[in-house]
A and B are shown apart, each in its own frame.
Chain A
Amino acid sequence: MSGLPAGPLPEPDLESAVWWDGLREHKILLQQCGECGRPRFPPLPSCPWCASATCHLMESPGHGTVYSYVTAHVPMSPGYETDLPYTVATVELAEGPRILGRVEPPTPVAVGDRMAPRFFAHPTWTELYFAPANAPADDPALAAADGGA
Chain B
Amino acid sequence: MSGMAAVAGVGYTPFTRASGRSVLSLAAEAVANAVNDAGLRLDEVDGMGSFMLSDDSVPCVAVSSALGLGQLRTTLDLQLGGQAPCHLVWQAAHTVARGDARVVVVYRALNGRSGARVGSMRFAGMGGQYRYPIGYGAYLMYVGMWAQRFLHETGQGAEDLGAVAVGQRVYAQENERALRREPLSLDEYLAEPYVVDPYRRSDCTAEVDGACAVVVTSLERARDLAHPPAVVSSGCYRAGPRPGLDIGDHLLWEDYTRNYTSWLRDDLFGRAGVGPGDVDVAEIYDCFTSTVLMGLEGLGLCGRGESGAFVRSGACALDGRLPTNTGGGLLAEGYLHGMNTVAEAVLQVQGRGGPRQAPHHDVAVVTSGALMDGSAMILTTDR
How many angstroms between the C-alpha atoms of A68 and B254 in the bound complex? Answer: 12
The DSSP consensus for interface residues of chain B is mixed
Which B residue's beta carbon lies closest to that of A79? B135
How many angstroms between the C-alpha atoms of A40 and B242 in the bound complex? Answer: 12
Say yes or no: B135 contacts A127, CB within 8 Å: no
A window 14-46: CB within 8 A of B: 15-16, 40-42
Q: Which of A67, A70, A85 has the most CB of B within 10 A?
A: A70
Say yes or no: B133 contacts A77, CB within 8 Å: no
CB contact between A16 and one of B126, B146, B252 (< 8 Å): that residue: B126
How many angstroms between the C-alpha atoms of A13 and B252 in the bound complex? Answer: 18
Say yes or no: B136 contacts A100, CB within 8 Å: yes
Say yes or no: B133 contacts A9, CB within 8 Å: yes
In the complex, what's the smallest C-beta–C-beta distance from B158 to chain A, in angstroms? 14
CB contact between A73 and one of B126, B148, B194 (< 8 Å): that residue: B194
Q: For residue B251, which residues in chain A have a CB less than 8 angstroms away from its CB?
A: 41-42, 90, 97-100
Say if the beta carbon of B145 comes within 8 Å of chain A: yes
Say if the beta carbon of B197 comes within 8 Å of chain A: yes
Q: For residue A125, which residues in chain B have a CB less than 8 angstroms away from its CB?
A: 133
Say yes or no: B127 contacts A42, CB within 8 Å: yes
Q: For residue A97, which residues in chain B have a CB less than 8 angstroms away from its CB?
A: 251
Q: For residue A8, which residues in chain B have a CB less than 8 angstroms away from its CB?
A: 122, 132-133, 137
CB contact between A76 and one of B133, B141, B145, B197 (< 8 Å): that residue: B141
Q: For residue A119, which residues in chain B have a CB less than 8 angstroms away from its CB?
A: none
Say yes or no: A70 contacts B122, CB within 8 Å: no
Interface residues on chain B, size class: 35 or more
The DSSP consensus for interface residues of chain A is loop
CB contact between B135 and one of A9, A40, A80 (< 8 Å): that residue: A80
Say if the beta carbon of B152 comes within 8 Å of chain A: yes
Say yes or no: A102 contacts B144, CB within 8 Å: no
Which A residue's beta carbon lies closest to that of B152? A111
> How many chain A residues have a CB neighbour from B under 8 Å?
42
How many angstroms between the C-alpha atoms of A90 and B141 in the bound complex? Answer: 11
Say yes or no: A77 contacts B196, CB within 8 Å: no
A window 49-99: CB within 8 A of B: 67-74, 76-77, 79-80, 83, 85-86, 88, 90, 97-99
Say if the beta carbon of A147 comes within 8 Å of chain B: no
How many angstroms between the C-alpha atoms of A72 and B136 in the bound complex? Answer: 9
Which A residue's beta carbon lies closest to that of B127? A42
How many angstroms between the C-alpha atoms of A21 and B120 in the bound complex? Answer: 29
Say if the beta carbon of B191 comes within 8 Å of chain A: no
Say if the beta carbon of A136 comes within 8 Å of chain B: no
Which B residue's beta carbon lies closest to that of A125? B133
Q: For residue B141, which residues in chain A have a CB less than 8 angstroms away from its CB?
A: 70, 72, 76, 88
How many angstroms between the C-alpha atoms of A148 and B136 in the bound complex? Answer: 25
How many angstroms between the C-alpha atoms of A79 and B138 in the bound complex? Answer: 13
Chain A, residues 116-145, CB within 8 Å of chain B (1/0): the string is: 000000000101010000000000000000
In the complex, what's the smallest C-beta–C-beta distance from B293 to chain A, in angstroms? 15
Q: For residue A85, which residues in chain B have a CB less than 8 angstroms away from its CB?
A: 194, 197
Contact A70/B197 with A12-B129, A42-B245 known, Cβ cut-off 8 Å: yes
Q: For residue B138, which residues in chain A have a CB less than 8 angstroms away from its CB?
A: 72, 76-77
Contact A77/B256 with A8-B133, A100-B136, A111-B148 known, Cβ cut-off 8 Å: no
How many angstroms between the C-alpha atoms of A22 and B159 in the bound complex? Answer: 44
Say if the beta carbon of B41 comes within 8 Å of chain A: no
How many angstroms between the C-alpha atoms of A7 and B138 in the bound complex? Answer: 13
CB contact between B196 and one of A41, A74, A79, A100 (< 8 Å): that residue: A74
CB contact between B134 and one of A48, A74, A127 (< 8 Å): that residue: A127
In the complex, what's the smallest C-beta–C-beta distance from A104 to chain B, in angstroms? 10
Contact A76/B137 with A42-B249, A71-B197, A100-B251 known, Cβ cut-off 8 Å: yes
Say if the beta carbon of B193 comes within 8 Å of chain A: yes
Q: For residue A98, which residues in chain B have a CB less than 8 angstroms away from its CB?
A: 251
Say yes or no: A68 contacts B149, CB within 8 Å: yes
Say yes or no: A100 contacts B131, CB within 8 Å: yes
Contact A73/B135 with A42-B249, A111-B148 known, Cβ cut-off 8 Å: no
Q: What are 21 inter-chain pairs, A to B, with CB distance below 8 A?
A: A7-B137, A8-B137, A42-B130, A68-B145, A68-B149, A69-B145, A69-B148, A70-B141, A70-B197, A71-B194, A76-B140, A80-B135, A86-B135, A88-B136, A88-B145, A90-B251, A100-B130, A100-B134, A100-B136, A102-B135, A127-B133
Q: Which B residues lie at the A interface, using CB under 8 A?
A: 120, 122, 126-138, 140-141, 144-146, 148-149, 152, 193-198, 242, 245, 249, 251-252, 256
Nearest first, the 3 closest Cβ-Cβ pairs linking A and B are A68-B149, A77-B137, A76-B138
Q: Which A residues lie at the B interface, using CB under 8 A?
A: 4-5, 7-13, 15-16, 40-42, 48, 67-74, 76-77, 79-80, 83, 85-86, 88, 90, 97-102, 111, 125, 127, 129
